[in-house]
Amino acid sequence: MNAVVLAILIMVTLSLARVSVVFALIVAALVGGLYAGMPLDGILEAFNGGLGNGATVAISYAVLGAFAVALSRSGITQGLARRAVERFHLEGVGAGRRKVTLGLLGCLLLAAISSQNLIPVHIAFIPILVPPLLVLMNRLRLDRRAVACVITFGITAPYMLLPVGFGAIFLNDILLGNLNASGADLGLHIEAAQVPLAMAIPIGGMALGLLVAVFFSYRRPRDYQDRALVGQNPESAQVQAQAQARAQDQFEGARQRLEPWQKLVLALALVGTVVVQLLTESMVLGGLFGFALLSASGVFRWREQDDVFTEGMRMMAQVGFIMIAAAGFAGVMQATGSVDSLVTSSAAMIGDHKGLAALIMLIVGLFITMGIGSSFSTIPIIASLYVPLALSFGFSPLATVALVGTAAALGDAGSPASDSTLGPTAGLNADGQHDHIWDSVVPTFLHYNVPLLAFGWIAAMVL
């Protein structure tokens, strides 16, 4: 068995068995490296060398978590949720509940799409926007697995289809650039306008999966408790009761009446966080700017700011450590050299079957991307291997684009280590009631990766 395949299977199996994802990543990296013949010190060196790639995103999440907790302490988001409950009579079984639920999901979808193409802040909006809405979701009895599917679609599908924002980077700079570079000696030349056309069919599969998730799979009401935003699940009954009481108090009314100038500062903090991030290209500085403004506004006591900041970092600790461990895991997988051999051995199994070739290439791409956790990082690795292989089987330029683009994107939605699943978990698990594997990874894998495989194969065969 190929070392990459073995490592991915171990990681997924341990994660599904509710073993810590960080532990699963470390064990899988060690087993995969040893199976590939690497010495233990070489495995540790590759793992440690890759850790730094995840540290920046992890500290960014920690800072944004502190900003999210500070917003929650202001009480303004709870006040908005309370007004929504009263306005739409959500405490009863009103006929308008479903419309409000779909409206909320639509707003989250638009926010996610905007974060990729209009205001390219990527996943930075999630820990700020989602946690304050959890109480409203509880009143709506909204299944958070549907929310995870909506957000994941919004932060993955747009950059694979729309060539603006992060989409311009993915489609033009990474996908198109690597395809033309790999196919230059083979006579392959693809125009920028062809790339979105080739990716339209696979993204259509994701859209179908989104509709199934919202209107069928997770349509039934699901009950959650009103809990305060905490860094970890409370262990004692007394602490649990205190947390629920605090959440209820925050929902029934804001902790304090805000002065008009404080509301202005809150608005400036929200806008300023986005502006600073865009200007500096740093989520850390953006989050610090917003937190500093809220600290100066007096929405919480000055002596509480250290506790607020620490609470926010605890809330994002799990996500941060998973990102760091995933970067180390990817470093080991690339150091084994098993990615090339995986593609080579797969090609030897195919023979002259064009349809089988497309399917094997997509499945191999799924394993590679699930291990690396990012389609952006996967394309430079697989393009040089897939382009000659696709052309040798007679695939057209558009079909080659669909194969490489879909193969690279497959692991994004269903990987335990991808920010496309870690992002929704960071927001939805702010009160400790949303499991990363069973409530984010498994739903998005079933509703997006399976359709991507099917529609990616169709695109390769018909284009």
- Percentage of the chain beyond pLDDT 90 is 9
Over the stretch 348-374, which tens digit does the pLDDT of each residue have? 666 667 888 888 888 887 877 776 666
- Which residues touch 342 (CB under 8 Å, ≥6 apart)? 2, 4, 5, 364, 367, 368
* Residue 57 pLDDT greater than 70, yes or no: no
Rounded to an integer, what is the distance from CA 282 to the centroid of its chain?
Answer: 18
* Residue 9 pLDDT greater than 80, yes or no: yes
- The three-state secondary structure class of 256 is coil
Q: Output DSSP code: residue 142.
A: -
Over the stretch 224-258, which tens digit does the pLDDT of each residue have? 887 776 544 444 344 444 444 444 454 444 444 56
Over the stretch 417-440, which tens digit does the pLDDT of each residue have? 777 888 888 888 888 889 888 898
The secondary element (H helix, E strand) that includes residue 115 is helix 97-117
Angle at Cα 132 formed by Cα 126 and Cα 135, nearest 5°? 125
* Residue 145 pLDDT greater than 90, yes or no: yes
CB 174 within 8 A of CB 376: yes
- Which residues touch 193 (CB under 8 Å, ≥6 apart)? none
Identify the residue with better confidence: 53 or 205. Answer: 205
- Which residues touch 369 (CB under 8 Å, ≥6 apart)? 375, 378, 407, 408, 409, 410, 411, 412, 415
Over the stretch 190-203, which tens digit does the pLDDT of each residue have? 888 888 888 999 99
Nearest Cα to 329, choosing from 50, 58, 57? 50
pLDDT, residue 216, reads: 92
- Cα separation values, 120 from 53, 66, 94, 171, 378, Å: 20, 21, 37, 15, 21
What's the CA gap between 116 and 334, in Å, rounded?
28
Q: What is the pTM of this model?
A: 0.73
| pLDDT class of 140 with cuts at 50, 70, 90 | confident
| pLDDT class of 333 with cuts at 50, 70, 90 | confident
What residue segments make up the domains of the chain, in order of their start?
A: 3-225+318-462
| pLDDT class of 151 with cuts at 50, 70, 90 | very high
* Residue 207 pLDDT greater than 90, yes or no: yes
* Residue 89 pLDDT greater than 50, yes or no: yes
Of the listed ranges 41-50, 117-126, 245-254, 375-384, the one predicted with least confidence: 245-254
Nearest Cα to 427, choosing from 23, 76, 58, 61? 61
What's the CA gap between 293 and 299, in Å, rounded?
10
- The CB density around residue 219, as the number of other CB atoms within 10 Å, is 13
pLDDT, residue 306, reads: 74
pLDDT, residue 326, reads: 73
Give the DSSP per-residue string, 366-412. HHHHHHH--HHHHHHHHHHHHHHHHHHTT--HHHHHHHHHHHHHHHH
* Mean pLDDT, residues 66-73 taken together: 71
Mean pLDDT, the chain, integer: 77
pLDDT, residue 231, reads: 46
Over the stretch 256-278, which tens digit does the pLDDT of each residue have? 456 677 778 777 877 787 778 77
Helix 40-74 and helix 21-35, axial crossing angle in degrees, nearest 10: 160
* Residue 108 pLDDT greater than 70, yes or no: yes
* Mean pLDDT, residues 38-47 taken together: 86
Nearest Cα to 319, choosing from 158, 445, 428, 159? 428
What's the CA gap between 21 and 26, in Å, rounded?
9
* Mean pLDDT, residues 131-141 taken together: 83
CB 397 within 8 A of CB 194: yes
* Mean pLDDT, residues 449-454 taken together: 90
pLDDT, residue 360, reads: 83
Of the listed ranges 11-20, 203-212, 241-250, the one predicted with least confidence: 241-250
pLDDT, residue 87, reads: 62
Over the stretch 164-183, which tens digit does the pLDDT of each residue have? 766 777 788 778 888 888 77
Over the stretch 276-317, which tens digit does the pLDDT of each residue have? 877 776 767 877 888 888 777 776 666 777 777 777 777 666
CB 62 within 8 A of CB 317: yes
pLDDT, residue 250, reads: 46
* Mean pLDDT, residues 21-27 taken together: 82
Identify the residue with better confidence: 59 or 202. Answer: 202
